[in-house]
Amino acid sequence: MLRSARMTRALIVGLVASFVMTATTLIPPAATATPSSSLRRYPYLTDLVLHSVTVNWATTTSITSGSVAYGRSGDESCTAHTVAAHRTAITVGTTAEYQWKASIPGLKRNTSYCYRILGNGSDLLGSDPSPVFRSQLPAGSTVSYRFAVIGDWGWQDTSELNTDQANVLSELASSGARFAVSTGDIAYQSGSQTNYGDLVQTGPTTSTVFGPNYWTVAGASIPMFNVLGNHGLNSTALTNWPENRATKSSGGRYRMETYCCTNGTRSASYPSAWYAFDAGAARFYILDAAWANSNVGTADLYKNDFDNHWTPSSDEYEWLFEDLAAHPGGIKFAFFHFPLHSANSTEASDTYLNGDGHLEELLADNGVDIVFNGHAHTYARSAPAGMPVNYVTGGGGAHLEPATVCGPPIEAALGWSYSSSTHGSSCGSLPRPDTIDRVFHFLLVTVKGSTVTVAPTDELGRTFDVQTYTFS
């Protein structure tokens, strides 16, 4: 059954507080007030599924043992329980560090927890308050919740702070989102450990994610689900964003594999990353639709991605087909990098994935309601006939791109050109932005029963093109 038979648009909230406010905001403060000098990455969360969550952080190599203490917030001490952590040796810049992770099991559903991280028996957070998160909702729960979607960020091309990205992440941190999902391309330009960085090292393309004003601000309380992009197709993504429980529970894949040698590409080891999880009334599909810039052979990124991931005989396609069939009801969201419908001519629509006979039709025929993509550094909303609603959200912090490819199925888009005299560009129902702070953004999505509201939110907290959908 096509998606158009499942979805009726109950309400279009439209432009809410859009292009009205002109005030500026301050750069968000660093989240690290007085932690241990041995702490190199502030704790951040991943893999919030079922009854568990994973806590991640990094330290100097002087810390040789680690653990997480935790408890139910308000009911227990934040150190009521303890779980051991495991370390991986990494190098950030020229500095050897340990990346730590600890999976907290046995969490009560939809319950607030606080925690501390320990190294060599000492509290690494010092006098900082205990971070608090909320455990995942059980499948089928009617409790309403919010999650955030952000794409194409982790950018600092000079030694100066990327204030636009810092502001976006500060707004996301205070948005009330229970968790976040990326649409790919985190940590420019290559997704290296130096690009990801830490709390101490600075400079061009250094500490673009784990610097004190970036994911540090949000990550201690808002778990992230990772999507691969064409930047950073290496093992670093799997190390920094472990999603083991989500992968295992859905029969997905999250590991390095050899890809050889489609369309004249050279043999290379790339991560394969696809999995699914439930959150209340919705099922989330995290998909791998990306290919490395440096290995195109005789084709291009889109063709190589299709031939390796999305032919009907490919492993990922077969897994997705089977999981969709096994979960016929409820709301469904899909997240992947290459865009089905782009308003940008450089990072164009992926014709190997969109339309009849391709991934887009597979998603439509199996009840996926909304697809979220990145790659194009713009905002775009599309409503192709008989297909899922499609959002492109690539304005998380990387250099923006213009939105000049307008017309159906694109209903609204925003972009920015650094070289043109007019700078701002738009499509459809949105006016042309007059300042760059109206284009950097994330999406705040509210799930309330069968109703889903998508509220694009710019770096100053202003919402625009807010849409509410009711799915049968």
Which of 91, 103, 99, 104 has the alpha carbon at shortest distance from 119?
A: 99
For residue 201, whether the previous peptide bond is cis, meaning omega lies within 30 degrees of 0, is no
For residue 421, the model assigns a pLDDT of 85
Instruction: State the pTM of this model.
Output: 0.92
For residue 261, the model assigns a pLDDT of 96
The secondary element (H helix, E strand) that includes residue 247 is: helix 244-250
For residue 260, the model assigns a pLDDT of 96
Cα distance between residue 453 and residue 441, in whole Å: 16
Query: How far separated are the first and last CA of the chain, in Å rounded?
Result: 13
Which of 318, 387, 311, 392 has the alpha carbon at shortest distance from 348?
A: 392
For residue 36, the model assigns a pLDDT of 85
Cα distance between residue 371 and residue 358, in whole Å: 14
Quickly count: other Cβ atoms within 10 Å of residue 29's Cβ: 12
As averages over each run of 10 residues, the pLDDT of the chain (472 residues) reads 38 32 39 77 98 98 98 96 98 97 98 98 96 97 97 96 98 98 97 98 97 98 97 96 98 98 97 98 98 96 98 97 96 98 98 97 98 98 97 98 97 96 94 97 97 98 98 86
CB contact at 8 A, 252 and 285? no
Local structure of residue 281 (DSSP, 8 states): T
**Domains, in order of start, for the chain:** 3-26+138-471 (3.60.21.10), 39-134 (2.60.40.380)
The secondary element (H helix, E strand) that includes residue 303 is: helix 301-305
Cα distance between residue 147 and residue 218, in whole Å: 13
CB contact at 8 A, 160 and 211? no
* Structure token pair of residue 418: 């650094």
3-state SS class at 332: strand
Q: Sort strands 179-182 and 224-225 into parallel, antiparallel or unpaired.
A: parallel
- Tens of pLDDT along 207-259? 999 999 999 999 999 999 999 999 999 999 999 999 999 999 999 999 999 99
For residue 332, the model assigns a pLDDT of 98
396: left (phi over 0), alpha (psi -120 to 50) or beta: alpha
Residues with Cβ within 8 Å of 129's Cβ and at least 6 positions away in sequence, in order, are none
| Residue recorded with tokens 């997705």 | 320
For residue 15, the model assigns a pLDDT of 31
Cα dihedral: 303, 305, 309, 311 (round 10): -10
How many Å is the maximal CA-CA distance in the chain?
61
182: left (phi over 0), alpha (psi -120 to 50) or beta: beta
